[in-house]
Amino acid sequence: MLLCFSAAAAPDGSGAAGRRCGRALADGSPTRLTVAIPASAAWLSAALGSAPRLGCLVSHILRPAAAYATSAVTDAADAAGGDTGKMHVCVVGSGPAGFYTVDRLLKGYGDKVQVTLLDRLPTPFGLVRSGVAPDHQDTKNVIRQFSDVAADPRVTFLGNVAVGRDVELAELRRLHHAVVLSYGAESDRRLGIPGEAGPGVLSAREFVWWYNGHPDARGLQVDLSQASGRPASNRRLRVERTVVRPERPGGAPMAVGSGEFDTIPCQLLLQSVGFKSLPLQGVPFDPKRGVVPNVESRVPGDGPASPPATEPRLYVVGWLKRGPTGIIGTNAVDAKETASAVAADTGVLRAAAEAQHGAGGPAGGVGLAALLAGRGVRAVGWGGWLALDEHEVAAGRAAGRVREKVTEVGEMLRVCGV
Ligand SMILES: Cc1cc2nc3c(=O)[nH]c(=O)nc-3n(C[C@H](O)[C@H](O)[C@H](O)COP(=O)(O)OP(=O)(O)OC[C@H]3O[C@@H](n4cnc5c(N)ncnc54)[C@H](O)[C@@H]3O)c2cc1C
């Protein structure tokens, strides 16, 4: 099989998608990989070994996982805490950014907080489950840390609850002092070239989700059949060779077209030009960057730009805030900023909730669970996820693997017991 694979300039998170696709396919042997690299990506040559390449590269910077101090949140929460009942915070999305934020909130507020953690899937952990490669089990070990956070009695995990489908953001805001959006980047950038929506052309996100057992990708048509001899050229990709030149004398080098073109026949074409977040109704969105804009983690409101007015009680973290860049540890640093913003606003958040609900305060996760039950939403609690986890690990053990994922939501819910 000949496969053409575009891995554009994304040196960390989304570039990883390209690298993983390359690895996954290269492991399956008689595949021939062609990689078009319009800009820097030294890691790719290591990942892909002898795959023929076009264009070329500069460097890859690995950022270290962040040191994990708690002081800013603790101080602000202590200063603004008081004894007037618990702070109810809802975190939407249980990927690394969501979990690190919950962890920060717990450490900062101590016993003065109750956190509701939502995910649209019955399963937690976001891209740690559906992005990080199956052969990188060490990286997935962070799940243990996240599981300790979720098992904390101050945390209510509700899986299979999608904001915008099962519950509206306005309802979450009414039930909590603050809402933190951490629902990641679940769409794709596009090259904007003819033919990219055709059969045999997939995004790296779709492909990564498919081989990681994400339920949204289980029906994806991925033809990995091996062609004998020359591949049947279902698709052809026209590429222009690049040369690296300084932008201006003494300036940074950049890849520019050479005017020399190739046509590559291929059976499967994977675009890896970046992930992109989806907008949520009622929340400001920057369509160009594909993120929710923010002022130090606070979502901007309709008021004056200077000083920047922010949407009351709404915060953002992770890939939804920064765009699809950074490793898992980058989200820990980011979560520190977001949780610190919530903590610093505690007094204002409490006053707003009191004006709305009186001294009793908002109903939090308990109120949300009741609302969902009334709607017939089959929300998965942490115990339900643990049952599914045990089921998958046992099925994996029987098949000589780490785990055998359940990929169909109905079956997941059955195993979760909801
Ligand atoms: C292919 C790939 C491989 C990677 N490999 C590594 C690696 O080896 N090491 C490393 O350090 N980093 C790696 N990364 C980067 C790392 O995965 C990200 O930095 C991190 O997952 C981003 O965290 P997040 O919480 O912002 O988003 P996500 O992890 O995407 O989490 C978002 C969560 O929100 C949920 N959600 C979405 N919409 C809704 C909604 N409407 N309502 C409720 N919930 C919703 C999703 O189901 C998901 O659980 C990789 C990334 C990719 C794409």
pLDDT in tens, 153-211: 999 999 999 999 999 999 999 999 999 999 999 999 998 888 888 888 999 999 999 99
pTM, two decimal places? 0.84
Parse the chain into domains and list their residue ranges: 2-62+190-272, 71-186+277-376, 380-418
What's the pLDDT tens digit per position in 65-109? Answer: 232 233 444 444 444 444 458 999 999 999 999 999 999 999 999
pLDDT at position 7, please? 44
- For residue 264, what are the β-bridge partners? 237
Output the residue whose Cα is nearest ligand 1's atom 37: 183
**C-alpha 415 to ligand 1 mean position (Å):** 24
**C-alpha 374 to ligand 1 mean position (Å):** 30
Beta strands in 296-358 (DSSP E): 298-300, 310-316
What length does the chain have?
Answer: 418
**C-alpha 334 to ligand 1 mean position (Å):** 14
Low-confidence ranges of the chain (pLDDT < 50): 1-14, 29-30, 39-50, 55-83, 227-229
Residue 18 near ligand 1, beta carbon < 6 Å: no
| Residue 131 burial (C-beta neighbours within 10 Å; 0-12, 13-18, 19+) | buried
pLDDT at position 133, please? 95
pLDDT at position 15, please? 59
Output the residue whose Cα is nearest ligand 1's atom 17: 127
The crossing angle, in degrees rounded to 10, of helices 409-416 and 382-398 is 110
User: Per CATH, the architecture of 71-186+277-376 is what?
Assistant: 3-Layer(aba) Sandwich (3.40)
Cis geometry, peptide bond prior to residue 307 (ω within 30 degrees of 0) = yes
Residue 162 near ligand 1, beta carbon < 6 Å: yes
Residue 328 near ligand 1, beta carbon < 6 Å: yes
Residue 20 near ligand 1, beta carbon < 6 Å: yes
Beta strands in 172-297 (DSSP E): 178-181, 187-188, 201-203, 235-246, 253-266, 268-272, 275-276
